[in-house]
Amino acid sequence: MSFGPRLAELRESIEAEYRQRTPASGAMHARAQRHMPDGDTRTGIAFAPYQTYIESAHACFLYDVDGNALLDFNYNATSLIHGHAHPAVVTAIQRQAARGTAWSAPNPLQIELARDLCERVPSLEQVRFCNSGTEANMQAAKAARAFTGRDRLLKMDGAYHGTYDGLELNATEARGIPRNVRDNVVLAPFDDAAAAERLIVANRHELAAVIVTPVFTRGGLIPPSPGYLAALRDITRAHGVLLIFDEVISFRLAAGGAQDLYGVTPDLTALGKVIGGGLPVGAFGGRAEIMRVYAEGEPPGLTHAGTFNANPLTMAAGLAALELLTVPAFQRLADLGGRLSHRLAAVIGDDSAFQVNRVESLVSLDPRPTTIEPAAAEVLRLIRLALLNHRINMPGLCAVATVMTEVDVDRLVDAFGEVLGTFGDLLVPTTSGGVSA
């Protein structure tokens, strides 16, 4: 698809520089195609012409297989809140690895991490561990259905809760999901309390729960409007429907997650990412009377198994990571996120086809609502490649880490300014509302 000669020219020059700078990554990508479909096992990290292969990482930097040091603003999809290979986390993992990595029995560290999470997160009275955010959301939904005796879930259209069939469904359907999944999923627009109320009332006798990401993070960073989350809480409580917060990403926003930041307490919460210190992790929990569904009966009527649930390595890493997440640490993260968003917005200006959005330590560069999507997506891809050529790893959704400084933030902004200068009026909306091309 062509968006005009100027954009085609930029594409050719930016991609040529990227290929010249990353020949080893290009070769690995070609090899990977022979052994893995599409050359990898993570859909969300793919981009054209090929991904950068990373050999190691430390603090704020990624080191690729071609010897380039990249200042990172991704941190494995926002999960490494203390940066790469933080000494305290590495030490905790090494200490535990010497004692063993997994066994078919509980370990003391899971009690400590569970206690820490319950003390931090307002909704958590009891919690269980799993191995991913997908599993956490899946089990929270399962618990809601078991507790209420109802089957249907309401989710926000376009929201990402992992790759569990029952929550992956959106108006634009993904392949591989059974057609009858739609019978048990109700879709509502995010940040529209009136629409949510209509759907909840209409489906209240079949609805087990409403699940929502307190901050929308797919296809752009969208904070909730004032009162939206509180309205969901009131509506669900009034009709005996459970409220689930997916805080896999948003937990990094405050000491007790987004529910702490916005002052709204759900019935159940799904967690992941930062609570594992960089190792695979998931957790879910909430009111004790709901979590009892995992303990009722002989044997318990609701099964939750997993060979690596609460494995000692993850529990050790998670405890080390949470110990570093003090109130001053969250304030510093928010300050860095504010500096990044304000300086990026100043560089972009008010007449750009793009805008900067920010919630605490999360920052994103998104097309304005009037921007034509195909052209905007291609421009954003080229901006990302151009920043990689400037030794900056900045995807659409950015995160800052506790190990970063204002100097790191300013380095991104300076590089971003140089990159935007090469695009010129391509970033100015046309009279039809799209990107100039």
Q: Does the annotation mark 160 as catalytic?
A: yes
Residue 430 reports pLDDT greater than 60: no
pLDDT given for residue 216 in this prediction: 96
Confidence (pLDDT) at 44: 80
For residues 85-91, give the mean pLDDT.
Answer: 98
Going by pLDDT thresholds of 50, 70 and 90, the confidence category of residue 429 is low
For residue 430, give the 3-state DSSP assignment: coil
By percentage, how much of the chain surpasses pLDDT 90?
79
Would the pLDDT of 173 be above 80?
A: no
Task: Give me the pLDDT at residue 376, please.
Answer: 78
pLDDT score for 349:
87
- Residue 299: the pLDDT is 63
Residue 392 has a pLDDT of 97
What are the CA-CA distances from residue 259 to residues 42, 93, 173, 264 (Å)? 29, 30, 29, 5
pLDDT for 376-395, tens place per residue? 788 889 999 999 999 999 98
pLDDT of residue 401: 98
Asked whether the predicted pLDDT for residue 177 surpasses 90, the reply is no
Q: What integer pLDDT is reported at residue 2 of this predicted model?
A: 40
DSSP state of 59: B
Q: What is the pLDDT of residues 127-150, one digit of tens each?
A: 999 999 999 999 999 999 999 999
pLDDT at site 373: 59
Q: Which residue of the set 64, 72, 246, 267 is catalytic?
A: 246
Sign of CA dihedral 314, 317, 323, 324: negative
CA angle 71, 75, 76 (to 5 degrees): 130
Is the preceding peptide bond at 49 cis, omega within 30 degrees of 0?
A: yes
d(CA 78, CA 75): 5
- How far from the centroid of its chain's Cα atoms is residue 265's Cα? 20
CA-based nearest residue to 21, from 316, 390, 280, 415: 390
Proportion of the chain above pLDDT 70, given as a percent: 94
Any idea what DSSP says for residue 403? T
Q: What is the mean pLDDT of residues 419-426?
A: 82
Q: Which long-range contacts (CB under 8 A, 24 or more apart) does 113-120 make?
A: 113/275, 113/310, 113/315, 113/318, 113/319, 113/322, 116/319, 116/322, 117/271, 117/275, 117/283, 117/285, 117/322, 118/285, 120/255, 120/256, 120/257, 120/260, 120/322
Q: Three-state secondary structure along 278-311?
A: CCCCEEEEECHHHHHHHCCCCCCCCCCCCCCCCC
Q: Which residue ranges form the domains of the chain, and what is each CATH number?
A: 5-81+327-427 (3.90.1150.10), 87-324 (3.40.640.10)
pLDDT for 436: 47
246 part of the active site: yes
**Helix H or strand E encompassing 201:** helix 193-202
Strands 242-246 and 268-272, how do they pair? parallel
pLDDT higher at 309 or 296 = 309
Q: Is the pLDDT of residue 431 over 80?
A: no
Contacts 24+ apart (CB under 8 A), 26-34: 26/50, 28/53, 28/65, 29/53
Whether 356 contacts 348, CB under 8 Å: yes
- Averaged confidence pLDDT in the chain: 92
The residues that bridge with 242 in the sheet, in sequence order, are: 209
**Catalytic residue, candidates 18, 50, 75, 160:** 160
Q: What is the CA radius of gyration of the chain?
A: 22
Whether 298 shows a pLDDT value over 80: the answer reads no
Give the range among 25-34, 43-52, 109-118, 401-410 with minimum mean pLDDT: 43-52
Q: What pLDDT does residue 279 have?
A: 97
Q: In one letter, which amino acid is 228?
A: Y
Q: Tokens 């509506």, residue?
A: 235
Catalytic residue of the set 155, 267, 273, 294: 273
Residue predicted with more confidence, 419 or 219: 419
Task: Tell me how far apart the alpha carbons of residues 209 and 201 are, in angstroms, rounded to a whole number.
Answer: 12
Residue 433 is predicted with a pLDDT of 46
112 vs 303, which has greater pLDDT? 112
Q: Which residues pair with 398 in a beta bridge?
A: 363
- Please report which confidence band the pLDDT of residue 6 belongs to, taking 50, 70 and 90 as the band edges: confident
How many residues in the chain?
A: 437
DSSP secondary structure letters along 149-184: ---EEEEETT----S-HHHH--SSPPTTS-GGGGGG
pLDDT given for residue 378 in this prediction: 86
